[in-house]
Structures are given as C-alpha cells and as structure tokens.
A and B are shown apart, each in its own frame.
Chain A
Amino acid sequence: MSAVTAPVGAPPANPARTVMSWAQRSSWAIGLVGLLAILLVFTKIIQPSYGVAGIQGLGISILPLGFAAVAQAVVVIAGGIDLSIGSMMALTSVIAATLMDGQSAEFGLAVVAGVLVLGLVLGAINGALVVVTRVPDIVVTLAMSFVWAGFALLVRAAPGGAASPWLMNLVIGPFGNPWIPKAAIVLVIVVAVIWIPIARSRMGLSLYAVGSNQLAAFRSGVPIGRTKIVAYALTGLFAAVGGLALTASTSIGTPVPGPYTLESVAAVVLGGVSLAGGRGGVFGPVVAVMVLQIIQNDMTFLSFDPNFALVAQGVILIGVLILGSVLESRRARR
C-alpha cells in the first residue's frame, strides 16, 4: 500500500523527494487544511468581529470530538469500527468527575492516570471480544455501547461531579499568544505523543497492514488478533482522553453519551480515512472536526437556522464520499 508510512530502517531518501511523497500521501489532509484556511478567511469576512474569542471558542468546542475522531481513526485504519466510543467517553468522564470532586490536585492527577488506564482496558475488552467471538465489529461494539453506557449510569445517575481546577486550566484559555487556544495545543500534543511513536513502530505498520489486507498481513506473519486488540485498546485510550476533555471543558461528568460516536465516524471519513481500512492518518480527522465546527459557526453568523448546520453536515458527508467514489472510478477506468 502506498499509504503505509515509510518502513522502519528504510534508507535515507532525498529530502525533496521525501517532502513530495509526504505531500502526495497527505494530499487529502493538505486539501482539508486549505479548506480550513479558506473557511477562516470567509468567517472573518462575514463576521468582522470574529477574532480571539471566536478562535478560543473553536478550540474548546472541538476538543472532545477531536479526540473521538482520533479514537475512531485508529480503529478504522486497522480495518475495524468502534460504535462504543461515545459510551466509553461518557463512562470515563463520569468516573473522572466523580472521583475528582472536592479532591486535591495530586489526587486528580492520579485519577487522570487511572482513567487513561481504564480507557485502555475498556478498548482492549472490545478488541478481545471482536477477536475471540469473530462477530462483526459493528455488532460487538454496538452491544458494548449499551454496556459502557449502562456502567456510566451506574456510576452517576445524573450529570454532576467536578473537574480538578488544574485540568480545566489545562484546556481553557490562551497559550501565550491570545490567538492560540490551549485546547488546540493539548489536542495536537496528546495525539502526537501517543500516535506518532506507534505509527512509526512495527506496531503502526501492522495496524495499516491488517486494515489494508488482513489475509496478506497474516501471511506475512503479522499477529492479526494481537494487532486488532492493540488498535481497539488505543481507541479506548483516546476515548478516555476525550472523556477527560469533556469533563475538563464542561467541569462536570455527564453519564448520557453525547453524539460523539456517529460524528466521529463522519469526521473520520471526511478526514480521508478509508472505511475499508489501511488508509489515512489521525490528523486529517482532527482538521475535519475543525472544518465541521467552523461551518456550524458560520451558519450561525449568517443567521441561518442552526439546524441547517446538521443538514449541511450530512450533505457534506455524503457529497465528499460521492466525489471520492467518482474520482476513484475515473482512476480505475484509466
């Protein structure tokens, strides 16, 4: 697969060619960034007062969905899909908010670490069930979404709890320059710190290999079961980060899952990750989340009924896929 990252230990290539091949591989993401830039300029034109406050609001509002999209991207790259992301976010969010309520900062730090481990475990359980039962991913994770959401309601029947103040300070407000929201920095750093080492390792290659052609991966000696479980565990980890982001940005824990599961699928597809697996990265979906959020803001500025934003999201989702399939069939014909 051309989309697979350069294998470990590949001979050092000519830098210009490296840049070119990177640009080719990431053409979709680069296009999205361009679209994002155009949208920001457009927003500034229709709403001249759009500035620091708007950017800060954008940063904080994309944070939970951004992590959800990354979580979904990892498992989709490995050829699966996880419909329990929203429920895992709800569960980790209520646990964090409940445990942190009225506790010291150090205890809050321990809670964060514990919740991240919990996310890994939840995801690993999903993955193990998919591997062991051989039931299609959609069905297993759909069923597990009931289970995790049920546990979330058992932890806390109604929204409540509190986030440690440092956790909220971590994501709310500007970072140095007022134009740079802390939330965006957190999003990029967390994703980069977790994903880049994995993507560049043997495991990352395995994830792409399993997603792109399971049989070929198996015959080349990739442990399919283990790789899938790792993919789901990573998804659980990012979902837990998303849950913490929810708690941090709302300062409470809400046991009822938000719309994150299905919106993460939408963001992943818009972000250039193929639902068939093996293609795409995690940063495309993050940019897609920003694009979707700006479109929603713009529709508010243009005083459209905000509900049309939902319609627009659906139309964009379908439109992008139709465009993709038309381009694909053109290429196939050639």
Chain B
Amino acid sequence: MNASARANKWLTAVTWRRLLRDRPIVPLMGLLAILVLVIELADPGIVSPEWTGVIVRASVPLAILAGCQTLTMLTGGIDLSVAAIGSMAGFVTATLVHSPGGVAEGIIVALAAAALAGLLTGIGVGVFRVHPLIMTLGMSFVVLGLSNVWQLQMVQTGAGVPDSLRWIGSSTLAQVVPYNLLVFIPLTLLILLGLRRTGYGRLLYAIGDNPVAARLSGTRAWQVLIVLYVISAVMAAIAGLLISGLTNTASVSLVDTSLLPAVAAAVIGGTSILGGRGGFGGTIVGALILTVLTALLTVLGLPEPTRQVVFGSIIVVVAAAYTRVTSES
C-alpha cells in the first residue's frame, strides 16, 4: 500500500469517525433507511403512508420515554422510574374518569403525582448524592407499591381509559398522521431548543461532562438535577398517558415493557450513559429504528423470543460501534 492511499484511507476513517461522533443522526438515518428498505424487500408493498403512520404512532411514546433517559444520561444519570411513573399516570387518569373534574382532573392529578415523585428523586440525587440508578429504582418501588394500593382502593368505582386519551393516543388524521404528534412535536421542539439554546441545557452537558469543572465554575448541580428529574418524571407521565390511550388499557405495569427499549433507544441514538454526550434528535431516530426493527422481525415471521435475542444483539453491536469511533480519538 503506498503512502497516498494510506493517507486517503486514514482521511476517510477520520471523516467517518467525526461524522458518527458529532452528527450521529446522519448514519442513524442511513441505518433507518436500510431497515425500511429491507422490510420493503421482505414484504413488498408494506411500506405505505399508512404503515409509516403506524410506525410513527408506536415510536412517539417510546421516544418520549427515551427522552427521559437521554436527559438524565447527559448528566451521567439514568431514570429507571419512568415505567412505574408512566403506568401510574395512565392508571390514575383511568380511575378518575368518573370524578367530578373528569378527564382533566385525572390528568392533572397524574401529572402532579409524577412531578412529586420526580421532585423526591431529584432531591435524593441532587442533594443527598444517591446514585441515580438506585434512587430511581427505589422510587419505582415506591410508586408501584402506591399504585397497587390505589388499585385496591379504586377497584369498585368502574374505570376506563377516557375517550380523549384514546383519541390522542391512537387516532390518525386520514389514516396517516397520528394525533399523538400534537403532543410530541411541541415537546420535541421544547427539548431540542432547551438543550441547544438555553443555559439550562448547557448545564446538563456540563455536569455530565465534568462535574468538578461544572462545580468550580459556579454551577449549583443540585438545583439542575432536581429540575431535571421533575422534567423526566412529567415526560414519563405524558408517555404513559399516550401508551394508555394507544393500547386502551390502564394497568400498574403497562409501561414496564418499554423501559429497557427506552434505554436502548437513547444508547442507539448516540447518548453516552457516562454523560456529557448525546442529544434528543438521535434518540428520536433511535426509537424509530427500534420500532421498525420490531416490525421487520415480525414481518420475517420470527417468534417473539428470537426477536428479543436479535434485539439485544443489535443493541450491543451498535453500542460497540459507537464506543469504537468515539473513544479512540
């Protein structure tokens, strides 16, 4: 191999590495496109506007839950309480459907309960420096236990997922555009702008990247973390309400199956669990990739267990690829 060819190869490798590190969304979109292509080849004619709508509709709640992981991971944390909080929100709203305040009261109570749980988590993580993994795990036990207690209290009253939640969670405009985008698009804009344009967003990156430097430059990390975990809990509650509307079920374990995929979507989307690197854009594509992948494995006729195996393997491979290109600089 002569010198120029080697230099050229090195150049492309560096370019690729830089692309993956700084703009992970570009290769991720490529991966998504390949998956869509494969699913079209596997089942010709499946890709249609309606199919896209179904995929987007299923991705939205997952992307919001993955957003909780993204935001907390930016500070070097993680939020394992999203499943319990999301399920609780859907469940509480469903049980309060016949209350005087109706659906609005249910949603307000659910969001307030979620915010309270997030506040306590934030105080634990921010003020008492409890490891976020343990703090959110403990909080999920507390929320799940209280939801179960609530379930026994409310079992007589007759409950159901309110129509309005079913509408926004599962209906689509002209069979194509899911209405849950009405919630998702404003939320996304808020998160993207918040992370890029506000001081608060920069603080999240700063705390995750170098906590000591952040503290020495005058950041009050505990304040940032308390607000962060409240935001994460409220987002989890919103996702739980959408999932409850999408599946027309309300149970205290509704969101449990989405917890690990949410973490996976954030990781695939290029957010580092060690903090300081990542963003919500990649996470959204990560959630889309996981949803399309699930659809593809279904189309290929793989049984659920095989799907899980493939799912897990792909997460390892993608995460390994990221670590490879981002750590050796």
Residues of A whose CB lies within 8 Å of any CB of B are: 81, 129, 132-136, 138-140, 142-147, 149-154, 157, 262, 265-266, 269, 275, 305, 307-315, 317-318, 321-322, 325-326, 329
Say if the beta carbon of B296 comes within 8 Å of chain A: no
Tell me which residues across on chain B come within 8 A of A136, comparing CB atoms. Answer: 273-274
Residue of A nearest to B273 (CB): A136
Residue interface bits B140-182, CB-to-A below 8 A is 1, else 0: 1110111011001000000000000000000000000000000
Tell me which residues across on chain B come within 8 A of A311, comparing CB atoms. Answer: 141-142, 145-146, 149
A137 to chain B, nearest CB (A): 9
Tell me which residues across on chain B come within 8 A of A135, comparing CB atoms. Answer: 316, 319-320, 322-323
Residue interface bits B296-325, CB-to-A below 8 A is 1, else 0: 000000011111111111011001101110
- A293 CA to B185 CA in the complex, in Å? 46
Tell me which residues across on chain A come within 8 A of B307, comparing CB atoms. Answer: 150
Q: Number of B residues contacting the other chain (C-beta, 8 Å)?
A: 47
- A139 CA to B268 CA in the complex, in Å? 10
Interface contact B312-A150, CB-CB below 8 Å:
yes
Q: A135-B319, A135-B323 are in contact. Are A317 and B149 (CB under 8 A)?
A: no
Say if the beta carbon of B264 comes within 8 Å of chain A: yes
- A152 CA to B323 CA in the complex, in Å? 29
- A78 CA to B135 CA in the complex, in Å? 21
Among candidates A133, A265, A308, A314, residue contacting B323 with C-beta atoms closer than 8 Å: A133
Interface contact B130-A305, CB-CB below 8 Å:
no
Among candidates B146, B152, B316, residue contacting A143 with C-beta atoms closer than 8 Å: B316
- A145 CA to B315 CA in the complex, in Å? 11
Say if the beta carbon of B202 comes within 8 Å of chain A: no
Say if the beta carbon of B139 comes within 8 Å of chain A: yes
Interface contact A146-B130, CB-CB below 8 Å:
no
Residue of A nearest to B314 (CB): A143
Residue interface bits B114-157, CB-to-A below 8 A is 1, else 0: 00000000001000111101110111111011101100100000
- A135 CA to B316 CA in the complex, in Å? 8
Pick 6 A–B contacts, CB within 8 A, sort by A: A136-B273, A143-B264, A265-B137, A305-B149, A307-B148, A318-B138
- A178 CA to B249 CA in the complex, in Å? 48
- A97 CA to B305 CA in the complex, in Å? 19
Among candidates A144, A151, A307, residue contacting B316 with C-beta atoms closer than 8 Å: A144
Tell me which residues across on chain A come within 8 A of B303, comparing CB atoms. Answer: 154
Tell me which residues across on chain A come within 8 A of B313, comparing CB atoms. Answer: 143, 147
Residue of A nearest to B121 (CB): A318
Say if the beta carbon of B260 comes within 8 Å of chain A: yes
Tell me which residues across on chain A come within 8 A of B152, comparing CB atoms. Answer: 305, 307
Tell me which residues across on chain B come within 8 A of A151, comparing CB atoms. Answer: 305, 309
Interface contact A318-B145, CB-CB below 8 Å:
no
Interface contact B306-A314, CB-CB below 8 Å:
no
Tell me which residues across on chain A come within 8 A of B322, comparing CB atoms. Answer: 135
- A307 CA to B146 CA in the complex, in Å? 7
B279 to chain A, nearest CB (A): 17
- A145 CA to B259 CA in the complex, in Å? 13
Interface contact A314-B312, CB-CB below 8 Å:
no
Q: A262-B80, A307-B145, A311-B141 are in contact. Are A143 and B128 (CB under 8 A)?
A: no
Residue of B nearest to A84 (CB): B312
Tell me which residues across on chain A come within 8 A of B145, comparing CB atoms. Answer: 307-314
Tell me which residues across on chain A come within 8 A of B312, comparing CB atoms. Answer: 143-147, 150
Among candidates B128, B137, B327, residue contacting A325 with C-beta atoms closer than 8 Å: B128
- A154 CA to B310 CA in the complex, in Å? 13
Interface contact A317-B319, CB-CB below 8 Å:
no
Q: A139-B319, A266-B134, A321-B135 are in contact. Are A314 and B274 (CB under 8 A)?
A: no
- A269 CA to B141 CA in the complex, in Å? 15
A309 to chain B, nearest CB (A): 7
Tell me which residues across on chain B come within 8 A of A150, comparing CB atoms. Answer: 304-312
Interface residues of B in 2-40 (CB under 8 A from A): none
Tell me which residues across on chain B come within 8 A of A322, comparing CB atoms. Answer: 124, 128, 130
- A117 CA to B307 CA in the complex, in Å? 26
Given contacts A315-B142, A325-B130, 9 further A-B pairs with CB under 8 A are: A134-B320, A142-B263, A145-B260, A145-B312, A151-B309, A311-B149, A314-B142, A318-B130, A329-B129
Tell me which residues across on chain B come within 8 A of A157, comparing CB atoms. Answer: 305
Interface contact B137-A262, CB-CB below 8 Å:
yes
Q: A133-B323, A262-B80, A321-B134 are in contact. Are A140 and B316 (CB under 8 A)?
A: yes
Among candidates A132, A134, A146, A329, residue contacting B260 with C-beta atoms closer than 8 Å: A146
B304 to chain A, nearest CB (A): 7
Interface contact A153-B308, CB-CB below 8 Å:
yes
Interface contact B124-A318, CB-CB below 8 Å:
yes
Tell me which residues across on chain A come within 8 A of B310, comparing CB atoms. Answer: 150
Residue of A nearest to B142 (CB): A314
Say if the beta carbon of B78 comes within 8 Å of chain A: yes
Interface contact A318-B135, CB-CB below 8 Å:
yes
Interface contact A129-B316, CB-CB below 8 Å:
yes
